[in-house]
Structure 1
């Protein structure tokens, strides 16, 4: 007997893992609840699961749909009716218990969230009195039974950006569902290399929510795929028509979310709206700072939103983190505006992340450095939003403080282009009376030095020279000396630069600024070395490493070791240089890109000098791949001459063809393989090299190629990838050179051919 299980009018797509787990749970647990946000497909999954286990229940499977139930008091009557029971002289719950007591049956209760307490009480009683009963429930939060097994139903898998760039999207369940439903309204529709990137964008824009995909697919009857993607800036407005036989709340995506909103308490509704200002989620401290009323806690409301599947809770390095699907967040943003709280929430968000950046500056250069690096990376969307809000409010002081506090994150080589854009915008808004200006100019100078941006270095040094000298504390003196040193470096005056960096080092030591000290140890060592005093420079860099080791700092330690290798290689002391390189690369997984490419170049020089030209050529190729992937600019002391010298030596011995083969083999290496080549041992790598035809292009070049294929200009590519126009132009030229093409249309054709 199966009562109420509807005929499947459309094919069931995906969910193999969930179905297997559901079958396992039903074998070992009596109450099982499928929990997830609205529109995620809990009902359809429960029905498919019930069909798969139906033969295990000799007395059948009974589906009870509760969505239309208006009164919790009618729950027993509704279940009795689904079971075909006429209670007559007995109360419905008594009649149900009597009916189920001797039966082996699966009772499916669909959409319990709005009658949760009543479901809890009734199911608890039934399980106690009917030993062979199994209950499968769907709800936006668990029933709360002690023995309940809960399976959280997530959204469908969507392709990653890398998979989309390579045209490998067909394996994702979200794509499979879209393709299936699209063919029903547009029989010629198929996913291929030509539209894979657009399909992936569509599925990601819809968060992989099955209902959203089901609502979007019929639009392909009248819209081209590209047009549909363009219109998805406001998915809640677009996805408004569903199948006529679907429940009312499933006719539109908005209706589904409205249903969830109405089930929330006023405190949960307020927190939902306020949390919409977060970009990419937030930890508990941020939620508390932005979402709470003064003197109140958000813990109960946050727990309620998690229970109701509005907020998704995950653990990152054992720290709880909370996020919403983009469609849920968009809905919250609308509610926030309706409540008139948008300005207040964004102001609290900005203030919290200014404090966050400040804490990062004081804590990140030390034993918890990698933890802070991960934390800032995780909250980078929020930090960017806070920066934008600072500028929108003409709060240049906060923007300057954020940029300055995070210079350790942008430098050296982490994301220098983005950091430079921050400083450019913040400095343009600041007047000379702004208190953080001097220190912001010093931080901008450090970043300009790392990027070999001579024009910016000179500009910030000149602006600093016009500022009045207000105070004479150690931090102010250090900033002024850094700016003098930067101007000297830009002007080629290494002697003045060395002396200024030594003064800055002393001032940073007095101020207790560890990041500033380490920057100065590095630059004193480099300038001394380039002035020809190699032994003194190596000793200076070693002193800096001792400071790193004393504080548990790892990133600048790698930078100092790399600079040591550069100076020793220049002095012809290859054996010592190789030792420094191996120390630098021993923790290769945490190396920043600029350090890694520099260390690989020094190693290539040494191998070439020692007659291992093929190895040197391979390391040049590996270095080039990392450089391309990250869109790096040259460092403060250009390596162009050294790279050209290694290439010439290798070509002279190997010949052009053999050199290119070795170079290409190195270009195809993973970072682990390249570092292992230097260290003389094999390293494990969680990211094996791609066998895709597009592997001839680096990760960044594949992104550029995809944008070229869509007709993007160099300026648009730069904006999309957050790189400079000059860098974008370089990538475009390299893509076309590698592919042997001369137009964007040819790039598109090549991509299609490579992915078929």
Structure 2
């Protein structure tokens, strides 16, 4: 079994929050079965063991095998790069893709989100945060009765409900007398063979080398990470040479004794050897790359790690060398290739960096690089590279967090940290980090009190985040101070943004005329400074406000101006919000096809970006349109979808509270048209859809031509609402199979089969298995008619 850690970025996710396995999983059948069984009876399972023993891979393998038993997903929370204990709850929330816009404490947000969820959360590498992980796990388990937590740690968490499973090295093979076929089936030999073939495709265990291979594994004490690091040496050495060098190295540590080494010494010695086999420049790059949190790309390595011993143009070859030696792990992302270092190797590199007296200097270079990166992102936030920057900052979040923590912990650098936190404003808004972003800004504002443009920018940025969180008193206070600083400095940009977000506060307080005045003033100032971001934001909000007071022509004019600004700069995100705003007014005027198309385009973009707030607002308008069209069943389901989306965001219509009246009117119209029972059923069906299916339903991707107003709403979408697995199980129900028989037929747990059947009943609005059977027959007849 290997301990390779894989990316948990959204681009790599499958199975509802698990990273894809980049190398094959070998062995551990008994351990997998034991942990699976424990998870069925215990709510907290901790895999304990030394570094390099394979805790993470065992946890991932179990998670992949049990994922179907958890209807709300299985999530891997990687904690190795998290240095600030205070960020633990936020790190878990962002992994679970919770975009909470409330002001509640992160742990409370987590507890509320998981309260009714059937979820498995894996807390990976807890040992440096063991007390904080214990508190978090205990709190969440008490709040969420269907939650399971699996942790990997060198120490147990120590909570009452915990079951600890020691993860030991792979059993050592018996090389004497065992048939070759039996020997090659042992876990340790299989792992060594597979990893050896990755670098030497012709490698095989034979009668000639069997003793050498078993000798290598014995010298490595069966440690999976040790086996992997040693196997890569076969690129340059024969198996005999590899064993000889292992013997020499380990004998030095024991004064010539052949006694088995303590395992931590074995691993340390092997890493020492890997280190010694690197060139001087490769070793230096290894040390310096250890300052990165999470992962790094080639640009980061070239900028931070070059100089004094490493020429920038040589970094690529050195990176390739470290990948070849399994020190760095290559990961492919849509934005390009990144490199990750196993935590054990990162800690080793950090120790060596400290020994050289270079850690402080490299951390400063790391922070400077991310200061410049944030500045570049801010400069290009309104343009064709916008989405690429949003995605890149997501991948760099662990590094950005580390850099911010370093600046704000140093009084002399706090102003830089505050400026960077402000530059990252769109990262906070478009990702899972809105609450975290506001916390960084508030920490910086507490440390940087000079009434200058740095504080002024941070104040209006914090004000915007507070508005989105509906924290109006805090927003007003920040915006008023920003206005005072702007007047003192004569800074039109500060004054423009203060006016813009003051207008948003007025809209929240149901003072649309005051809001319009503020938006107009903001617009005038941003035109004067030539700021396209300020122009677009002001025009979008002005359009919504004009629409709200019934000034249709002015609303459409403002939105069309905003579209021109966005198109002139190749912007997509602001354009999506502009189309949403324009769609609201077009709907109010009765042009339902155009309004639908505007909202669908906006929704498609926001889905691709993962912007839940944008997704929620556009689905709101689509629900209103459906109700106006008389598609009451569809409108009801969309209202149910919104329950899911707004629960993920943390607040309904976050930042757009003035539109709540339209939501209430839609709800009342659909309830009256369907009747209370049918309305509740439609909402329930929508709320039960998984997120991706829900958005696809809102986009009507199952029917590209769009809705037919004459189509009976009840007849639409029911089959599409079932997943492929659910349709398969529905067929087996129709054949009269019991839950146990279905589970055996599909090789799944009976509990899983029962869960699927419950989902089918809920989605179709049925209350018995016989209704499912009738429905399957009707679908089959309908399909036959369509083919005849």
TM-score, length-scaled by structure 1 = 0.60
2:352 counterpart (335, 339, 343)? 335
Deviation (angstroms), 1:491: 5.3
Aligned to 1:373: 390
Q: Equivalent residue of 1:323, what SS? A: strand
Alignment of 1:442 with 2:464, yes or no, is no
Q: Equivalent residue of 2:331, what SS? A: strand
Deviation (angstroms), 1:551: 1.7
- Residues 459-503 of structure 1, C-alpha deviation per residue, up to 9 Å, x if partnerless? 202332453745335434434434654564565543343233233
- Residues 579-617 of structure 1, C-alpha deviation per residue, up to 9 Å, x if partnerless? 432342354534621121111111212222332211111
Aligned to 2:367: 350
Could you say if the C-alpha distance between residues 264 and 437 of structure 1 is closer, same or farther in structure 2, counting changes exceeding 3 Å? same
1:193 counterpart (21, 37, 40)? 40
Aligned to 2:30: 180
Deviation (angstroms), 1:380: 1.4
Q: Which has the higher contact order (CA 8 A, sep 6+)?
A: 2
Could you say if the C-alpha distance between residues 582 and 484 of structure 1 is closer, same or farther in structure 2, counting changes exceeding 3 Å? closer
The CA distance in 1 between the partners of 2:646 and 2:523, in whole Å, is: 31
- Where do residues 157-306 of structure 1 align in structure 2 (5 Å cutoff)? 177-178=27-28, 180-181=30-31, 190-194=37-41, 198=45, 229=153, 231=155, 246-248=218-220, 250=223, 251-252=263-264, 253-293=267-307, 296-297=311-312, 299=315, 300-306=317-323
Contact 1:670/1:688 (CA < 8 Å) preserved in 2?
no
Larger displacement relative to structure 2 (646-655 or 567-576)? 567-576
Q: How many residues align?
A: 527
- Residues 274-330 of structure 1, C-alpha deviation per residue, up to 9 Å, x if partnerless? 212212211122112221225832514323212212112334346332221222223
Contact 1:191/1:199 (CA < 8 Å) preserved in 2?
no
Aligned to 2:479: 461
Q: Equivalent residue of 1:432, what SS? A: coil
The CA distance in 2 between the partners of 1:277 and 1:192, in whole Å, is: 36
- Where do residues 229-628 of structure 1 align in structure 2 (5 Å cutoff)? 229=153, 231=155, 246-248=218-220, 250=223, 251-252=263-264, 253-293=267-307, 296-297=311-312, 299=315, 300-317=317-334, 319-394=336-411, 395-411=413-429, 415-467=433-485, 469-482=487-500, 484-485=502-503, 488-489=506-507, 492-569=510-587, 574=592, 576-587=594-605, 588-590=607-609, 592-628=611-647
Q: Which runs of 5+ in 2 are unaligned?
A: 62-123, 125-133, 135-148, 158-165, 173-216, 224-262, 705-720, 727-761, 763-788
The CA distance in 2 between the partners of 1:372 and 1:301, in whole Å, is: 27
Q: Which runs of 5+ in 1 are unaligned?
A: 1-12, 14-38, 41-153, 217-223, 693-737, 739-756
The CA distance in 1 between the partners of 2:546 and 2:644, in whole Å, is: 31
Contact 1:202/1:229 (CA < 8 Å) preserved in 2?
yes
The CA distance in 2 between the partners of 1:204 and 1:525, in whole Å, is: 58
- Residues 55-83 of structure 1, C-alpha deviation per residue, up to 9 Å, x if partnerless? xxxxxxxxxxxxxxxxxxxxxxxxxxxxx
Could you say if the C-alpha distance between residues 552 and 607 of structure 1 is closer, same or farther in structure 2, counting changes exceeding 3 Å? same
Larger displacement relative to structure 2 (470-479 or 272-281)? 470-479
1:649 counterpart (669, 674, 695)? 669
Deviation (angstroms), 1:379: 1.0
Could you say if the C-alpha distance between residues 463 and 556 of structure 1 is closer, same or farther in structure 2, counting changes exceeding 3 Å? same
The CA distance in 1 between the partners of 2:702 and 2:50, in whole Å, is: 38
Could you say if the C-alpha distance between residues 454 and 519 of structure 1 is closer, same or farther in structure 2, counting changes exceeding 3 Å? same
RMSD of equivalent CA atoms: 4.5
The CA distance in 1 between the partners of 2:49 and 2:645, in whole Å, is: 30
Deviation (angstroms), 1:376: 1.1
Contact 2:457/2:494 (CA < 8 Å) preserved in 1?
yes
Contact 1:400/1:436 (CA < 8 Å) preserved in 2?
yes
Deviation (angstroms), 1:557: 0.9
Q: Equivalent residue of 1:246, what SS? A: helix
The CA distance in 2 between the partners of 1:212 and 1:617, in whole Å, is: 40
Could you say if the C-alpha distance between residues 480 and 170 of structure 1 is closer, same or farther in structure 2, counting changes exceeding 3 Å? closer
- Residues 72-110 of structure 1, C-alpha deviation per residue, up to 9 Å, x if partnerless? xxxxxxxxxxxxxxxxxxxxxxxxxxxxxxxxxxxxxxx
Aligned to 2:687: 667
TM-score, length-scaled by structure 2 = 0.58
Deviation (angstroms), 1:538: 1.6
Deviation (angstroms), 1:549: 1.6
Could you say if the C-alpha distance between residues 155 and 652 of structure 1 is closer, same or farther in structure 2, counting changes exceeding 3 Å? same
Deviation (angstroms), 1:438: 0.7
Could you say if the C-alpha distance between residues 617 and 570 of structure 1 is closer, same or farther in structure 2, counting changes exceeding 3 Å? same
Aligned to 1:635: 654
The CA distance in 1 between the partners of 2:46 and 2:452, in whole Å, is: 48
The CA distance in 2 between the partners of 1:307 and 1:548, in whole Å, is: 45
Q: Equivalent residue of 1:436, what SS? A: helix
